[in-house]
Each structure stands twice: as C-alpha cells, then as structure tokens.
Amino acid sequence: MNKQDISDIRRHFKVDSELLKINEIYNVYIRKETSEIFYEESRPFAFLELEQQELFLANFKKVLTGKLDIKLFEVKFQQPEEGATGHTQQLLYEGLYTEETEDWTEQMQQIALKMVQDVQYDNDIVVTFIRGQYYKTTKRQEDETEVNKNDEVYTTPFILSSLNQTELPKQSLVFDYVDLEFKSNLLINPVIKLASPIGGFLFPCFTDNAADVNRVLYTASKPNKPDLLFIENVLNGEQIVTAEEDKAVFEEIVKLVIGESVDSKTLAGVYEEVNHLLVVEDEKEDEPEDIPMLDVKEVERVLKASGIEDVSTEQVERAFKTVIDDTTYEMKASNIVPNYEAKSIKINTKVANISVSAQDLKYIKQVNYNGKQCLLIEVEEDTVIDGFTLVSEENILS
C-alpha cells in the first residue's frame, strides 16, 4: 500500500459514508491477570448507538494514521508449515468471506488469544475487529464522498483490528446539584482508551484497486518501534525494516565508500540525488506507482552524480556486504529522505542546536576562522535576534 491508498480509505471512516460500509463489530475484553477472555460481544455495527459508532470510527482512523515504515508497516505473511493450523493469514481470509457470524467470531477469537499468549499487559485490554466493504471508483476525485451511479466501482472486503488498553477513571470531587452537596465521584468501570490504540492491522493490503491477501498493514504503537513479537507470533509475518533502520544502513554504506568526513555540499548533493528519484516517480501520472529503491547500482549512481569521484561497483558491494551482509539488499528512497523540505536534519553543537532541511544543507559550511572551527550559514536576509539586527563581520573588521 502507498500513502494515497491509506489516506483514501482512512478518510471514509465516518458515519453514513457511502464508500465504506462496516457490517459487523466484534469486541473481546481480556483480563490482564488471567490472559483469558472475560467478555465478548458481536453485533451489527449499525446497531450501535451513534455516539459509540463515532468513538469507534475515530479509533479506526487512528489505526490507519502514521507514515509508512515509521508507524505503519506492510507485513508479508510467512509461508505456513505443511499441516499447520491457526495461521493468521488463513484465519483472516476465512473470516473475510464466511457468511456465518459464528465462524467469523471464532476465527477472530483465535487471533485475539494469540495477542495475549506470550505477553503480559499492564492493564486489561480490548481487542476490536470489524469487517466490511470499501468501495473505490476507478477514477478518484479530490472531493469524492459518495458513489455516482455512472462510476465503475471496485469493492474490497476488509477486516480491521484495533488493540486498546483500559484504565480506571481517577477519583474526583463533584458537586451534586440535586442534594446540594460535595461528593466523591467513585467510578469503577474501566475506560477503554480508544483514542490511543497500542496496535492494530488492516487486511488485506491493496494498491489502487488490487487486493493483496499475502500482506497485512500493521500499526505500531510508537514511531519506529514495531512490536516484532506481535508481527511474528500474532500476524505470522516476516521481518520488517523501519525507516530509521533503512536510513542508518544507507549512512553506514556511504561512510564505508567515501569515508566519515564529508563537506556539506557533497552531502547535500547525495540527498538531492535521492530526492530526485522520488520527484520523478511522483510525476508519473499515467503509470502505476512504484516505490523507488536503492540497490548497489543505484547507490553507486547517486554517489557519482553527487560529485564523488573514484566510486566503483566493487566498493559499494563490499560496503553492502559489510553493513547488511547482503549485496541484493534494497533501501526505500523515501526512508533516506523522508521529507526533502522539512527541517529534519539536526546539527548539534556545544553552543547551539540547529535544524535544517536536506534542500538547504548546501547553505551550511564548516570553516576555520581565526584558528577556530566555525559553522557558516549563508542567509539571504539580515539576521534579527531579540529585535536587534546583527552586523556582518566585514563591517566590524573595517
């Protein structure tokens, strides 16, 4: 899935949406002490009170909120062993297409129990499953909110799961208008924290109008902190790489090829070349979107195009072998330069910490001034500090 696919389905999680219909909701309450199901409930989503529907819809949006490879991860299912039962891909596939509610809840219950099989949560948890249909027209409009009867529409059945912790409400002091007295507000019913899910997933993945039942979109609770045990034991998925890990691998490979010391112009050139891959891909309006990847040959090309001389394929291959032990490894260009214009590059010094975008890195240089190392920042306007305009060095020295 790409960010546009995720954005499209997320924005239709709202009451009375014509392009997304939720048929059933299944909630499982699991006590932390026993890791067993304390209560379960399955019912048509339309039978919930409007306020409950809105709370759940906001929760489902949260599950699909975040950047790819940072908070959201496309996970490929492992191949099940011959004769094995209870594989999550099979449970989800059967649950997606079964017409019997009892079968659907039984399959989702098996997945819910996987979530607590080898994990001890700090609080009781609630696992929510929904299944429904997502309708997507062949030609998307920016203000698309309903189905036009003349549009050709693709229908994608889906299952979405949300994992939420509970907490006991805090004791408070309230004023009783009826009895005209102050009272302690003792509430014992746990609150389900729908606003901050600690995990979840969407099945199947899809790109444009094609569903991929071999992959599931997993949601981590924190950026760049996927639950690897959840991915392996609950989803039965293969290993994933975060954007943070991809960028670290790229940096180590480049260091091995060109050395750890580099000027800002060269580094800016490397980021510019990587970003160029993303820009070119975005401009392909009539072609399916491919994810620009950096393999050995592409890294070599990027370094040479950045002005780095004497770079060979053999050097880059050795670097790949040393860092990742795989000369066929590929990195996503979007993970190397997640946002070319955002101030995502941090420069930390003893005097000050500076944030700068990759596109503006070329305006920063390290120079030697009066025998001391200084950071030189090229600016197009006067610099103002606390209302005072700084005088340039040339004027002072003159």
Closest by CA to 9, choosing from 202, 216, 226, is: 202
- Predicted local confidence at residue 105, as pLDDT: 95
Sign of the dihedral defined by the CA atoms of residues 43, 45, 51, 55, in that order:
positive
- Predicted local confidence at residue 390, as pLDDT: 84
**Percentage helix, strand, coil for the chain under 3-state DSSP, each rounded to 5:** 30, 30, 40
- Name the pTM for this structure: 0.85
Run of H or E including 4: helix 3-10
d(CA 290, CA 207): 10
Asked whether the beta carbons of 302 and 250 are under 8 A apart, the reply is: no
Q: Is 306 exposed, middle or buried (0-12, 13-18, 19+ CB in 10 A)?
A: buried
Closest by CA to 255, choosing from 306, 156, 200, 323, is: 323
Closest by CA to 69, choosing from 225, 216, 236, is: 225
Which residues, at least 6 apart from 39, have a Cβ–Cβ distance to it below 8 Å? 28, 29
Residue 362 region, left (φ>0) first, then alpha (ψ -120 to 50), else beta? alpha
- Name the phi and psi angles at 190, rounded to 5: -65, 145
DSSP three-state, residue 175: strand
Least confident of 23-27, 220-224, 350-354, 392-396: 392-396
Closest by CA to 273, choosing from 318, 336, 331, 366, is: 336
Find the angle CA(243)-CA(247)-CA(248) to the nearest 5 degrees: 115
Most confident of 15-19, 39-43, 153-157, 344-348: 39-43
- Predicted local confidence at residue 289, as pLDDT: 59
- Predicted local confidence at residue 77, as pLDDT: 96
Angle of the 264-282 helix axis to the 296-305 helix axis, nearest 10: 120
Mean pLDDT of 181-198: 86
Mean pLDDT of 169-182: 85
pLDDT digits (tens, 9 = 90+) for 354-387: 999 988 988 998 888 888 888 888 888 888 888 8
Mean pLDDT of 257-284: 85
pLDDT digits (tens, 9 = 90+) for 309-330: 889 999 999 999 999 999 999 9
Q: Is 245 exposed, middle or buried (0-12, 13-18, 19+ CB in 10 A)?
A: middle
Mean pLDDT of 262-267: 88
pLDDT digits (tens, 9 = 90+) for 118-164: 888 889 999 999 999 998 876 555 555 555 555 677 888 999 999 99
Percent of the chain surpassing pLDDT 70 = 92
d(CA 267, CA 361): 8
Length of the chain measured in residues:
398
Mean pLDDT of 6-11: 92
Average predicted confidence (pLDDT) for the chain = 88
pLDDT digits (tens, 9 = 90+) for 228-255: 999 999 999 999 999 999 999 999 999 9
- Predicted local confidence at residue 251, as pLDDT: 93
Residue 396: band (very low, low, confident or very high) from pLDDT cuts 50, 70, 90: very low
Residue 397: band (very low, low, confident or very high) from pLDDT cuts 50, 70, 90: very low
Residue 181: band (very low, low, confident or very high) from pLDDT cuts 50, 70, 90: confident
What long-range pairs does 355-363 form, CB within 8 A, spacing at least 24? Answer: 358/268, 358/271, 358/272, 358/275, 359/268, 359/271, 359/272, 359/275, 361/264, 361/267, 361/268, 361/271, 362/264, 362/265, 362/268, 362/269
Q: Is 327 exposed, middle or buried (0-12, 13-18, 19+ CB in 10 A)?
A: middle
- Predicted local confidence at residue 139, as pLDDT: 59
